[in-house]
Chains A and B, each alone.
Chain A
Amino acid sequence: MKYAYYPGCSLESTAREYDLSAQAVCQSLGIELKEMHDWSCCGASSGHSTNYMLSHALAARNLAIAEKEGLDIAVACPACFLRLKHTRHAMMNSDELKAQMAESIGSRCEATSDISHLLDIVCNKVGIDTVKTKVTKPLSRLKVASYYGCFLVRPPKVVTFDDPENPQSMDILMDSLGADAVDWSGKVDCCGGSLALTRRDIVIKLVGELMNVAKGAGAEAIVTACPLCQANLDSRQGKDTLPVFYFTELMGLAMGLQGPKSWFKKHLVNPSGLLKSHGLL
């Protein structure tokens, strides 16, 4: 199983631990992640919020690279994932846009490479049964709230992954690791995304509400698949904090891989107390 890997900018900085844990987990599961040659930023919210054509061109440049490599794309960050998906969707439905993209990026792209998020690859291409065979240190019923955020499952016509209102993949994955995924209503609620740097007031309110719902459902930690969600939840939750993990970190822990301790050092909310109390560190 080989993919052109698109880490996205956050994974080189604020979400380093996501990149390290994702690479370790994929290697152990036999997923070959070949980093896309000379990939560039997808433009994130700032691209589509300011210039429609630019946002597609920024994504199309990367689609073209994978296409030349003849590989499907594995994406780690849901914001990048949605940008690439949007552009592929739009290009497949418009020859005019394909022509415009060829003009902007300087090479023809047919948008043939499929795009999947790592969570989808782990749950549906590798499969939960295979994941289970790799678990050597079950997570002792650690109660986690699976937090998908906005971009992984919406809009369904574009991303075509899981249910847009009540997704299950991450919950099933967490259960298979020996954790206990709590039932809660915040799964796809927005954390405020990139407003974190401009309207802290809004993000603090949204994160506060999410944390209350998670705590009310009995969660001891949050698990996410998104660098933006992780950063917002980790940094803006105020008092009485819960650790916020990437799903790949918990996979690495349950699979007994090298590295979890160094990944967790990068968190703002230190998870070691909780993990020790469950005999997991």
Chain B
Amino acid sequence: MSLRRWGINTIEFIDQPGSQTADSAFSQKVRELSRSDLDRCYQCLTCSLGCPVAFAMDYRPNQVMRMVQLGQKQKLLESSTIWICAGCETCVTRCPNEVNILGVMDTLREMALREKVEGKEKVIPTFHQTFLYPVEKLGKQYELGMLLLLKLRTKDFFSDLGLGMKMFARRKLKLFPSKIKASKEMKTIFEKTRGV
């Protein structure tokens, strides 16, 4: 049975010779930071077949493992895959070789942000950073403020307005933010972990 039935091209376009220079320092760094022995991956495709969002990815999770081994840094850090991964842990649960696929995705996302790589997916990283803004300032999420800030940052003012109004009418969105007492501790936490 052909895997193409599921829209899976396993390795054809990532193993193209000369398509990109291998960056072995990058491979090594991902191994370390993801705390995952990703060389155990034997391309069984279990991760990609179970991944709920593989249909929307430019590279499937199994391809990502191969690309890390091959040191294809730029393609990976610019990919939409790393942001589309919803972190559902299905792949981690099912991988027969205990590869921490989600750990690899997280590592790649963090690298892309630290190296300020402009990738194909712009809104999702902006969302994550916007989500963390009230957490840093207040110690808690403040949905209404976060949503407005997200709209400003993404210049998308109209989507989900109706939904927002419905939530508001049902008092599902707090009007005012709440702040924890020890909000200074949040500042320290963010500062101390920023450079690590």
Residues of A at the B interface (CB closer than 8 Å) are 9-10, 12-16, 38-41, 43-54, 57-58, 61, 82, 100, 103-106, 150-151, 154-156, 164-165, 188-190, 192-195, 197-202, 206, 235, 265-268
**Binary interface encoding of chain B residues 115-156 relative to chain A, with 1 for a CB under 8 A from any of its CBs, else 0:** 000000001110111011001000111010001001000000
| B114 smallest CB distance to A (angstroms) | 9
The CA of A235 and the CA of B166, in the complex, are separated in Å by 10
Interface residues of B in 45-91 (CB under 8 A from A): 52-53, 56, 84, 86-90
The CA of A47 and the CA of B193, in the complex, are separated in Å by 11
The CA of A87 and the CA of B124, in the complex, are separated in Å by 24
Q: Do A154 and B188 touch (CB < 8 A)?
A: no
Residues of B at the A interface (CB closer than 8 Å) are 33, 52-53, 56, 84, 86-90, 92-93, 106-107, 109-110, 113, 123-125, 127-129, 131-132, 135, 139-141, 143, 147, 150, 159-160, 163, 166-167, 170-174, 178, 180-182, 185-186, 188-190, 192-194, 196
Q: How many contacts between A and B, using CB within 8 angstroms?
A: 164
Q: Do A105 and B185 touch (CB < 8 A)?
A: yes
Residue of B84, B128, B186 near A50 (CB, 8 A) is B128
Q: Can you spell out 7 A-B residue pairs with CB atoms less than 8 angstroms apart?
A: A41-B135, A104-B193, A105-B185, A150-B89, A154-B93, A198-B124, A235-B166
How would you classify the secondary structure of chain A's contact residues: helix, strand, loop or mixed? helix
Residues of A close to B173: CB separation below 8 A: 13-14
Residues of A close to B131: CB separation below 8 A: 44, 46, 194
Indicate whether A235 sits within 8 Å of B87 (C-beta atoms), given known contacts A45-B128, A104-B188. no
Residue of A52, A151, A265 near B107 (CB, 8 A) is A52
Indicate whether A198 sits within 8 Å of B135 (C-beta atoms), given known contacts A16-B171, A105-B185, A192-B86. no
Residues of B close to A266: CB separation below 8 A: 170-172
Residue of A9, A164, A267, A268 near B93 (CB, 8 A) is A164
Q: Do B110 and A41 touch (CB < 8 A)?
A: no
Indicate whether A47 sits within 8 Å of B93 (C-beta atoms), given known contacts A190-B52, A193-B86, A268-B170. no
